Structure 1
Amino acid sequence: MHSRRSTSWALRAPAHWIVWSIVLFAVTIALGFVAKAIPAVRFDGLDAAVNGVNSPLLDAAALLLDRLDHPVVVAGILAVVFVILLFAVGWRRALGTCIVAGAGWLTTLVVKAAVAQPRPSTRDLTHVLDISPATLSYPSGHVVFAAALVTAMAMVSRAGLPRAIVVIVGTLFVLAVAWSRLYVGVHYGTDVVGGVLNGVAGAVLVAGLWNLVTQGRRRTR
């Protein structure tokens, strides 16, 4: 006899997920256009200030986190998350969590194309690392993935201490990724803020769609 945990498809998305998705994406894109039009809003110089406090250890950490949005790395992280959640919440919700994190991350391609913010120059950096970003600046795709992953994990976590741990550890992870993008000098301050907004928006949207698509399966069971 299957337990409720192992047969459940649903993730804990907000009740009004469509509204939340629209609002969050609207704020994300609006912030991008405002920052593009008004340089002062971009927190110019924040990357140089963060980069100014450097060390070999910080270099290693930033370069390690720089790999975070490579497709192979993302696939590896999601595979590990799936295996862990497989034993905790069952394969259905584990699969849903990975789809929410991965597809939520991919929504950044739409926001990047819409805003089309060029990368900041590295000429003001005192400590230049060998980083060659290939995509547009706003929002940070690394931060989008981190925020989408943490949001998805929070949606599948049990209420109480487990979810609190996920939120606290996840917040530290997102902050570390945001720091790393400023440290290597390839993003403005608004890029990492927009990355958090985009990541949460993408996760909420995909989670709502996941629940909608799997609703019929839940009823038949």
Structure 2
Amino acid sequence: MVVFLAVVGFVVRAFPADAALSAFLNALPVGVLGALCSALYTVFEPVPAILLTIVITGIVWVRTRQLLVAAAFAGMVALTWIPSAVLKIVVGRPRPHGLMHPFVPAQPDASFPSGHVVFVTALLLAALMLIADRRRRRLAAVLGAVGVMAVATALCIDGVHWPADVVASVLWAVGVAPAARLLWVDVVLRRAVERLEQTGRRRSDDSRRQR
């Protein structure tokens, strides 16, 4: 998926086939819609996104009373979201330009993929991991998908991302999240638990010997 998206990124950078759709969506923001799109962009900026992750992680910890579950949630979000910045630097696609309603201030970093959309999608996928009941998981998946689409569309309307950027962001999250879960939960956290258990057994054995 990463290699595929890198290739797509270079292609749309050289041949912006989504330019017409980008211009059409950017012509929509008037009044409340424009303000709402700008608000969504601000809410999911890196610093607020990190704070939001910390808050949700704390809620997960309080609700489940399991530190490992909270750590699994936070790690999955981070390992899905943060590496997308590398692809953004590698591809280096410029932000949309020549639009009717350009975003102010102009964003200096590259455009492909959208870190905002990757974050929101990663947040949804990590949340679904916590829901055991199938019906609730399906409902959460539908509502979350609507939310992801709303954020993605808002970014295009705001003129901060091309349509191809937000589509690639969703694909990135869907493709990378399982690998992030495997690496963080099944390898790192599991080994950490095993080491803690081994340390506990050694201490228990040592205390028995001293007695």
Deviation readout 1:79-104 (Å, 9 max, x if unpaired): 22113222443321122111211231
Q: How does 1:58-77 map to 2 (within 5 A)?
A: 58-77=33-52
Deviation readout 1:89-145 (Å, 9 max, x if unpaired): 332112211121123111111111221111121x232x3442421210111111111
Q: Identity, % of aligned pairs?
A: 29
For 2:108 and 2:130, the matched residues in 1 are separated by 33
Q: How does 1:195-214 map to 2 (within 5 A)?
A: 195-210=169-184, 211-214=186-189
**Aligned-partner residue type, residue 30 of structure 1:** V
**Which runs of structure 1 show a deviation greater than 4 angstroms over 4 or more consecutive aligned residues?**
none
Given candidates 100, 103, 127, the residue that maps to 2:79 is 103
Judge conservation of contact 1:107–1:202 (CA < 8 Å) in 2.
no
Q: 5+ unaligned residues in a row in structure 2: which ranges?
A: 199-211
1:192: Cα distance to partner?
0.6
The 3 A distance-change label for structure 1 pair 103 and 217 is closer
1:68: Cα distance to partner?
3.8
Residue 154 of structure 1 is matched in structure 2 by 128
Q: Secondary structure at the match of 2:19?
A: coil
For 2:34 and 2:48, the matched residues in 1 are separated by 19
The 3 A distance-change label for structure 1 pair 216 and 128 is closer
Q: 5+ unaligned residues in a row in structure 1: which ranges?
A: 1-23
Residue 175 of structure 1 is matched in structure 2 by 149
The 3 A distance-change label for structure 1 pair 55 and 37 is closer
**Aligned-partner residue type, residue 97 of structure 1:** F
Pairs aligned (count): 194
For 1:159 and 1:37, the matched residues in 2 are separated by 45
For 2:105 and 2:124, the matched residues in 1 are separated by 25
**Aligned-partner residue type, residue 186 of structure 1:** V
What CA RMSD, in Å, does the superposition of the two structures yield over aligned residues?
2.0
For 1:155 and 1:28, the matched residues in 2 are separated by 25
Judge conservation of contact 1:25–1:197 (CA < 8 Å) in 2.
no
TM-score with structure 2 setting the length: 0.83
**Aligned-partner residue type, residue 99 of structure 1:** G
Rg: which structure is higher?
Answer: 2
For 2:90 and 2:172, the matched residues in 1 are separated by 13
Moved more, 31-40 or 102-111: 31-40
TM-score with structure 1 setting the length: 0.79
